[in-house]
């Protein structure tokens, strides 16, 4: 049988139809007007570097994204940076007003390490930075919108990067010290209904920033640096979890966990099921297994493959660092919930040929992933609209990790701009529908977060890709925010706690429901 990646389009279409029909057989699309469970929460998310601006305002110091975009301006697609971005440092009240317009239960945002600790360490706390986040939190609480606070969303202080960043094992203490400052400064306020997220998307931090060059700091040392980063990051996260659990939980009553990025990896056919499982264990099992499995530690297949490759390549030990027994126990169970950022699905086939440099991450995996050409997607080349993959992912999390509470902390779709964004609406409805299928089958999913509240600096893509429910006019000094059609649809979903595929909004005016 010819491999499907080389097959004619008609065969690929037929295979996709089989996959879709299989999905519908397992979890058929239910009737319109599907209700969400009682107590289910809806929100939207942003991240500090992507929206705040004020890159050097009021004592804030340089982070790795400031450093990269200032020293290599065209490292981003449009040669732009986050110096001003959405100017949320000054316009946070408008951001909260948008959350009110949508009727959100919560707003997820992140805190800038370099804005709080200008030296990177707790010897000096920047009061202006603390005041900014106090103002934002107070504004949210004023309107009964719960803050979901991400401690680290990719913007490491440049000083720490120059000392090795996430490949330096001392960062476990640096991150713990920083996190303790946040608990002390904001825990009383956030305790209204505390949700702390320690780290956003470890895989992107480590693989893209350290293994390759697609995120700052762009070290591009694959097969080594991403593994060092992964171990240190997991230990740092666990330290912070236990600090909160032992020192703050009793008085602040909060919830703390980590957010992982996890896409679905579908085998190209039954002959590639093992390759798809291996890829999955490397891509997000690397972080989920140490925390959520009963045994802890890195996934067995990952340990075995990296050790074997390392030995064959002449290394005296595995390139994948080992956890001590104490570290395994410290990391295992160190999250109150499974924070999940999910966007898309890939097809996977085994690939043991020497297509990759060795040592390297994908040479260790011996599998490749791709999107069929006919799959429809967004402005981002990696983002295809494949809702059934979301269902399969949520089901696997339930089955593999004893059905942990799942918080969907990001899910969204990119366009090139414009207020009529029907493709985004189709995406949201499809993914929410599959999430409801998983809930009906027993998955313990408790919240859903749209990415993003508004357009923002989309990392290496600059401002060329737009994920916002609200469009931001970057030509305007006021950074005017205007609701897209999807904002009206999302508002109705939040208002009715139901998913109605037939709803067509009146987009003439966005108002605030004062009853919220």
Query: pLDDT tens for residues 89-134?
Result: 999 999 999 999 999 999 999 999 999 999 999 999 999 999 999 9
Local confidence band at 18 (pLDDT 50, 70, 90 cut-offs):
very low
CA distance 318 to 303: 8
**Predicted pLDDT at 7:** 41
pLDDT at 30 > cutoff 70: no
Residues 67-85 have pLDDT tens digits of: 999 999 999 999 999 999 9
Local confidence band at 354 (pLDDT 50, 70, 90 cut-offs):
low
Q: Which of 125, 127, 86 lies closest to 109 in space, CA to CA?
A: 86
Local confidence band at 188 (pLDDT 50, 70, 90 cut-offs):
confident
CA distance 450 to 43: 6
**Predicted pLDDT at 10:** 36
Alpha-carbon distances of 402 from 79, 170, 279, rounded to whole Å: 45, 33, 21
175 against 356, higher pLDDT:
175
CA distance 170 to 24: 49
Point out the least confidently predicted range of 154-168, 196-210, 333-347, 501-515: 501-515
Hey, what are 115's tokens? 């804005």
**Predicted pLDDT at 514:** 73
pLDDT at 367 > cutoff 80: yes
CA distance 134 to 109: 13
Q: Which helix (H) or strand (E) holds 266?
A: strand 264-267
CA distance 199 to 172: 12
**Predicted pLDDT at 502:** 96
Local confidence band at 157 (pLDDT 50, 70, 90 cut-offs):
very high
Hey, what are 378's tokens? 């967004």
**Predicted pLDDT at 11:** 37
| Mean of pLDDT values over 498-505 | 97
CA distance 368 to 346: 10
Q: Which CATH class is domain 39-267+282-302+314-346+386-497?
A: alpha beta
CA distance 120 to 267: 44
**Predicted pLDDT at 194:** 75
Mean pLDDT (the chain, rounded): 93
Alpha-carbon distances of 489 from 159, 425, 451, 499, rounded to whole Å: 43, 7, 14, 10
Local confidence band at 327 (pLDDT 50, 70, 90 cut-offs):
very high
| Mean of pLDDT values over 205-213 | 98
Specify whether the CB–CB gap between 62 and 117 falls below 8 A.
no
Hey, what are 48's tokens? 């500090």
Domain residue ranges of the chain, discontinuous segments joined by +: 39-267+282-302+314-346+386-497
* Residue listed under structure tokens 């975009």: 69
Contacts of 68 by beta carbon, 8 Å cutoff, 6+ apart: 75, 216, 217, 218
CA distance 429 to 427: 6
Local confidence band at 14 (pLDDT 50, 70, 90 cut-offs):
very low
Q: Which residues of 334-367 are buried (b: 16+ CB within 10 A; e: fewer)?
A: bbbbbbbbbbbbbbbbbbeeeebeebbbbbbbbb
**Predicted pLDDT at 8:** 35
**Predicted pLDDT at 368:** 94
Cα 59 off chain centre by:
28
pLDDT at 266 > cutoff 90: yes
Q: Is 45 left (phi over 0), alpha (psi -120 to 50) or beta?
A: beta
pTM of this structure: 0.94
**Predicted pLDDT at 397:** 98
Specify whether the CB–CB gap between 118 and 60 falls below 8 A.
yes
Cis upstream peptide for 217 (omega within 30°):
yes
Cα-Cα-Cα-Cα dihedral of 187, 190, 196, 201, to 10°? -120
Known catalytic residues are 201, 410
Specify whether the CB–CB gap between 371 and 347 falls below 8 A.
yes
| Percent of the chain whose predicted confidence (pLDDT) is above 90 | 89
**Residue 376, helix vs strand vs coil:** coil
CA distance 5 to 349: 9
Report the chain's C-alpha Rg in angstroms.
22
| Mean of pLDDT values over 161-173 | 98
pLDDT at 493 > cutoff 90: yes
pLDDT at 24 > cutoff 90: no
Phi–psi pair at 310, nearest 5 degrees: -60, -45
pLDDT at 65 > cutoff 70: yes
Burial category of 278 from C-beta neighbours within 10 Å (exposed 0-12, middle 13-18, buried 19 and up): buried
Burial category of 512 from C-beta neighbours within 10 Å (exposed 0-12, middle 13-18, buried 19 and up): middle
Residues 471-487 have pLDDT tens digits of: 999 999 999 999 999 99
Hey, what are 326's tokens? 């104490």
């Amino acid at each position: 049988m010819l491999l499907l990646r080389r097959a004619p389009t008609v065969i690929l279409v037929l295979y996709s139809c089989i996959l879709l029909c299989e999905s519908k057989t397992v979890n058929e699309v239910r009737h319109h007007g599907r209700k969400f469970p009682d107590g289910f929460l809806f929100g939207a998310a942003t991240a500090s570097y992507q929206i705040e601006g004020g890159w050097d305002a009021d004592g804030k110091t340089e982070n790795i994204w400031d450093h990269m975009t200032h020293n290599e301006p065209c490292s981003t697609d449009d040669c732009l940076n986050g110096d001003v971005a959405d100017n949320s440092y000054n316009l946070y009240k408008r951001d909260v007003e948008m959350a009110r317009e949508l009727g959100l239960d919560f707003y997820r945002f992140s805190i800038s390490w370099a804005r709080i600790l200008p030296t990177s360490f707790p010897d000096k706390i920047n009061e202006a930075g603390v005041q900014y986040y106090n103002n934002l939190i107070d504004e949210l609480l004023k309107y009964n919108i719960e803050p979901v606070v991400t401690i680290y969303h990719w913007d490491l202080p440049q000083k720490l990067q120059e000392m090795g960043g996430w490949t330096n094992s001392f960062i476990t203490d640096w991150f713990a010290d920083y996190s303790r400052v946040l608990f002390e400064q904001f825990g009383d306020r956030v305790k209204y209904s505390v949700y702390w997220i320690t780290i956003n998307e470890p895989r992107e931090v480590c693989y893209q920033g350290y293994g390759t060059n697609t995120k700052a700091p762009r070290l591009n040392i694959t097969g080594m640096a991403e593994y060092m980063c992964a171990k240190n990051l997991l230990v740092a996260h666990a330290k912070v979890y236990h600090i909160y659990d032992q020192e703050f939980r009793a008085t602040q009553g909060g919830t703390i966990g980590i957010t992982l990025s996890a896409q679905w990896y579908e085998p190209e056919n039954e002959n590639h099921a093992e390759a798809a499982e291996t890829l999955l264990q490397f891509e997000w099992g690397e972080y989920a297994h140490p925390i959520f499995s009963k045994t802890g530690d890195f996934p067995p297949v990952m340990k075995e493959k990296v050790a074997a490759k390392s030995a064959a390549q002449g290394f005296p030990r595995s390139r994948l660092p080992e956890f001590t027994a104490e570290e395994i126990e410290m990391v295992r169970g160190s999250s109150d919930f499974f924070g999940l950022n999910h966007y898309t699905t890939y097809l996977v086939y085994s690939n043991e040929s020497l297509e990759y440099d060795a040592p390297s991450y994908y040479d260790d995996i011996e599998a490749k992933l791709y999107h069929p050409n006919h799959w429809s997607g967004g402005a981002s080349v990696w983002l295809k609209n494949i809702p059934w993959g979301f269902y399969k992912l949520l089901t696997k999390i339930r089955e593999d990790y004893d059905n942990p509470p799942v918080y969907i902390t990001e899910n969204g779709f990119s366009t090139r701009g414009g207020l009529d964004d029907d493709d985004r609406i189709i995406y949201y409805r499809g993914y929410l529908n599959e999430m409801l299928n998983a809930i009906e089958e027993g998955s313990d999913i408790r919240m859903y977060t749209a990415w993003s509240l508004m357009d923002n600096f989309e990392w290496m893509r600059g401002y060329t890709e737009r994920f916002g429910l609200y469009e931001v006019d970057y030509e305007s000094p006021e950074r005017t925010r205007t609701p897209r059609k999807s904002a009206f649809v999302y508002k109705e979903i939040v208002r009715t706690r139901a998913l109605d595929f037939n709803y067509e909004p009146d987009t003439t005016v966005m108002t605030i429901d004062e009853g919220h």
